[in-house]
């Protein structure tokens, strides 16, 4: 053990009480920082997982053409085009009109793991009890299961039933409750005055209000008949290998297939922003605890420097350099920092474990019945970095003061 | 009149030391051009009225403070204007300092206090340092108290530990500022004899400020100071 460290240790131990308070501050600051980050990240991850499970990573949507080059084509085809929007010099045509071809082009991307065509439209939906408006989604089940977690969200009924019954329908639990229907019951979908009859094959709950309350799935062939749209689909839902890369991939696919491609990050920006703000604000709040602990350490060390000024002078007189004196006080901060961080880590592990078991019921953007946490080494790394920076500054200032003291002045001051 | 020795070996010498303390109107020229030499194996006493600048001189010689003008040599090495680093190393290797108050580190045992300068100098194993520390304490009559904590020792004992500490790295020069000033007559005599013995047996140059005329008389040389000059 270096003499500097030995001196630091004895100085520190002689101030056990003050040391304990600063230590507690670091411990709680580090632990709470980690737990709040683990929670926010836990909820965010589950949200993202739900988004990917329900909406997929990418959506290939409206076809576009560059306005200048395609003016004439537009005129020729204008009778077929029902709506034209202008955006950024592009001309958009809703939907995907040659889905097989586009799907083929999208599948050609190595990162793409699945593509499903979805035909979407509005319809009325009614049971014997009441009637409502909603969104009908026409899917090919196998294709769709490859790009979503629909299977995981089933609460009642069976996908095999849906598969086997061309007039089968999948319903969200909230809509089912509103219509007061259950598996096996009949509902009627109406579009442009015509009604068709469906049998409920299964009921799902995603936790996403939109889906559970307003959406329902039928076979795509049925949807074409109901909505009277024989060829096109509304969008392609795409699953990818690495969802974090979705925006870049979206850009590349967009250029390759001439359709607007939206990544989940783009579609869910507002929610992702909410999570980002939560992450940052809780990090700041918890860092404030560490900062206050840092003030405590600063205070304790400043007192030690004053109380030990004669000892500092004598150490200097026997050949300890300014650097040695500085090291002695920095070591004291480091001891508190290392101890506080290690104990803080242990407390964080325990708290995170406990929080994960706390019950809480959330529906709306996802469905969970307990707190969600993410176990990430990075939360620990960040807490340690913040504690290290704070403690380093808190000990650097008194250490510098101690190093700058002139031994002759100190000794003269004692009347020798 | 000056403290210069003509001929012979010199352990440490000072030339034209000037030191002004305070600033502006309160500035006092505490040392006013001092020259002197310290001889190895000899005890040198500085005597003079309170406030005449004895401590100020010792801090300069101990490299704890810098003169406004003048030179300080240990051997051929000039140290008054040397870098902090060189002066720190010289303090560690060539100088031992004993203050009026002992200034031991109270959370360390007597032995550990004596080991502090050795640990800084390096070059010795822990066992060697312990052995040397116990040996020095033994020489000062404290063999049985080596493992006592500093605050468990009496004032005289603490001052003797401080002397052992000053001797730890076998420095060529030992500086002591009223080392006996705080002790009763019996302890004062004991501490003085030990310093005297150290100089004569180990060949160290000892420079000691003292108010005790009886002790000063027994030193090999006496330097009398008044108003920042030797008389
Ligand atoms: N900061 C200062 N400003 C002005 N004068 C000072 C200061 N410190 C000490 N002195 C003066 O320097 C003189 C020498 O002090 P010192 O060396 O301690 O004397 P001694 O040790 O001989 O009693 C004293 O007269 C004292 O008043
Ligand atoms: Mg004095």
The ipTM estimated for the assembled molecules is: 0.90
Where is B74: in which H helix or E strand?
A: strand B69-74
**What ranges do the domains of chain B cover?**
42-66+90-222
Using pLDDT thresholds of 50, 70 and 90, give the confidence band for residue A415: very low
For residue A10, give the chain B residue with the closest CA. B107
User: Residue B2 — φ and ψ, nearest 5°?
Assistant: -145, 170
CB of B49 within 6 A of ligand 1: the answer is no
Q: How many Å lie between the centroid of ligand 2 and the Cα of residue B64?
A: 14
Tell me the per-residue pLDDT of A129-178, one tens digit each, with 9 for 90 and over.
888 899 999 999 999 999 999 888 999 998 999 999 999 999 999 999 99
Ligand nearest to the CA of B48: 1
CB-nearest to B121 from A7, A319, A416 is A319
Tell me the per-residue pLDDT of B173-204, one tens digit each, with 9 for 90 and over.
999 998 887 778 887 888 888 888 888 888 88
- Residues from chain B that touch A319, judged by Cβ atoms under 8 A, are 88-89, 91-93, 117, 120-121, 169
Task: Please return the burial class of B177, using the count of CB atoms within 10 Å of its CB with bins 0-12, 13-18 and 19+.
Answer: buried
CB of B50 within 6 A of ligand 1: the answer is yes
Is the pLDDT at B135 greater than 90? The verdict is yes
Q: How far apart are CA A37 and CA A136, in angstroms?
A: 39
For residue B96, give the chain A residue with the closest CA. A318
Tell if the CB–CB gap between A14 and B85 is shorter than 8 Å.
no
Which of the two residues, B188 and B90, has the higher pLDDT score? B90
pLDDT at B2: 45
pLDDT at A73: 46
A347: tokens are: 């407390």
pLDDT at B226: 87
pLDDT at B140: 85
Instruction: List the single range of A314-318, B100-104, B169-173 with lowest mean pLDDT.
Output: B100-104
Q: How many Å lie between the centroid of ligand 2 and the Cα of residue A311?
A: 19
Tell if the CB–CB gap between B105 and A310 is shorter than 8 Å.
no
Mutation choice for A interface testing from B91, B125, B149, B208 by most A CBs within 10 A: B91
Which of the two residues, B5 and A148, has the higher pLDDT score? A148
CB of B52 within 6 A of ligand 1: the answer is yes
- Taking the CA of residue B22 as reference, the ligand 1 atom at the shortest distance is 3
For residue B104, give the chain A residue with the closest CA. A311
Q: How far apart are CA A343 and CA A341, in angstroms?
A: 6
Q: Which fold has domain B42-66+90-222?
A: Rossmann fold (3.40.50)
Mutation choice for A interface testing from B120, B122, B163 by most A CBs within 10 A: B120
pLDDT at B8: 62
Q: What is the mean pLDDT of residues A189-203?
A: 91
Distances (CA, A) of A286 to A32, A351, A395, B4, B62: 6, 15, 20, 68, 50
- Percent pLDDT > 70 in chain A is 93
DSSP string, A333-386: HHHHHHHHHHHHHHHHHHHHHHHTT-EEEE-BBS-EEE------HHHHHHHHHH
Q: How far apart are CA A409 and CA B35, in angstroms?
A: 23
């Amino acid at each position: 053990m270096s003499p500097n460290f030995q001196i630091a240790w004895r100085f520190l131990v002689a101030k056990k009480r003050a040391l304990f308070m600063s230590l507690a501050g670091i411990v709680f600051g580090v632990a709470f920082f980690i737990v709040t980050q683990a929670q926010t990240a836990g909820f965010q991850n589950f949200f993202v997982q739900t988004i990917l499970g329900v909406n997929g990573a990418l959506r290939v949507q409206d076809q576009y053409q560059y306005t200048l080059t395609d003016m004439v084509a537009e005129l020729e085809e204008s009778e077929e085009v029902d709506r034209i929007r202008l955006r950024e010099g592009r001309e958009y045509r809703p939907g995907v009109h040659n889905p097989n071809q586009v799907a083929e082009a999208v599948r050609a991307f190595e990162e793409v793991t699945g593509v499903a065509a979805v035909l979407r439209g509005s319809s009325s939906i009614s049971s014997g009890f009441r009637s409502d408006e909603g969104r009908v989604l026409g899917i090919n089940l196998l294709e769709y299961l490859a790009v979503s977690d629909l299977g995981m969200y089933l609460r009642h009924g069976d996908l095999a039933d849906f598969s086997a019954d061309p007039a089968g329908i999948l319903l969200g639990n909230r809509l089912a409750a509103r219509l007061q229907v259950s598996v096996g019951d009949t509902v009627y979908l109406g579009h442009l005055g015509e009604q068709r009859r469906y049998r409920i094959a299964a009921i799902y709950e995603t936790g996403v209000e939109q889906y559970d309350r307003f959406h329902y799935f039928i076979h795509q062939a049925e949807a074409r008949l109901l909505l009277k749209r024989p060829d096109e689909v509304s969008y392609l839902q795409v699953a990818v290998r690495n969802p974090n890369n979705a925006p870049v991939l979206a850009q590349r696919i967009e250029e390759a297939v001439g359709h607007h491609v939206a990544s989940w990050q783009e579609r869910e920006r507002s929610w992702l922003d909410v999570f980002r703000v939560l992450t940052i604000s809780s990090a700041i709040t918890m860092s404030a605890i560490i900062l206050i602990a840092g003030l405590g350490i600063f205070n304790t060390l400043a007192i030690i420097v004053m109380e030990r000024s004669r000892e500092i002078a004598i150490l200097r007189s026997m050949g300890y350099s300014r650097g040695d004196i500085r090291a002695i006080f920095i070591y004291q901060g480091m001891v508190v920092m290392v101890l506080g961080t290690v104990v803080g880590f242990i407390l964080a592990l325990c708290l995170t474990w406990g929080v994960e078991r706390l019950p809480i019921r959330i529906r709306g953007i996802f469905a969970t019945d307990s707190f969600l946490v993410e176990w990430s080494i990075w939360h620990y790394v960040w807490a340690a970095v913040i504690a290290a920076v704070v403690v380093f500054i808190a000990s650097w200032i008194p250490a510098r003061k101690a190093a700058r003291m002139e031994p002759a002045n100190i000794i003269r001051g004692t009347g020798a | 009149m000056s403290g210069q020795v003509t001929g012979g070996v010199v352990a440490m010498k000072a030339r034209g030391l000037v030191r002004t303390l305070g600033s502006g109107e309160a500035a006092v020229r505490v040392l006013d051009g001092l020259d002197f030499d310290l001889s190895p194996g000899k005890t040198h006493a500085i005597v003079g009225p309170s406030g005449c600048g004895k401590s100020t001189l010792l801090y300069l010689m101990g490299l704890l403070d810098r003169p406004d003008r003048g030179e300080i040599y240990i051997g051929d090495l000039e140290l008054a204007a040397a870098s902090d680093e060189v002066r720190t190393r010289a303090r560690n290797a060539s100088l031992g300092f004993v203050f009026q108050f002992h200034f031991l580190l109270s959370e360390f045992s007597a032995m550990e206090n004596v080991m502090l300068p050795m640990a800084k100098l390096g070059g010795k194993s822990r066992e060697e340092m312990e052995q040397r520390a116990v040996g020095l304490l033994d020489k000062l009559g404290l063999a049985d108290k080596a493992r006592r904590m500093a605050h468990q020792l009496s004032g005289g004992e603490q001052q003797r530990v401080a002397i052992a500490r000053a001797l730890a790295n076998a420095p060529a020069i030992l500086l002591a500022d009223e080392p006996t000033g705080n002790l009763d007559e019996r302890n004062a005599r004991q501490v003085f004899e030990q310093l005297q013995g150290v100089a004569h047996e180990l060949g160290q140059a000892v420079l000691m400020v003292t108010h005790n005329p009886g002790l000063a008389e027994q030193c090999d040389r006496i330097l009398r100071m008044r108003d920042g000059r030797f008389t």
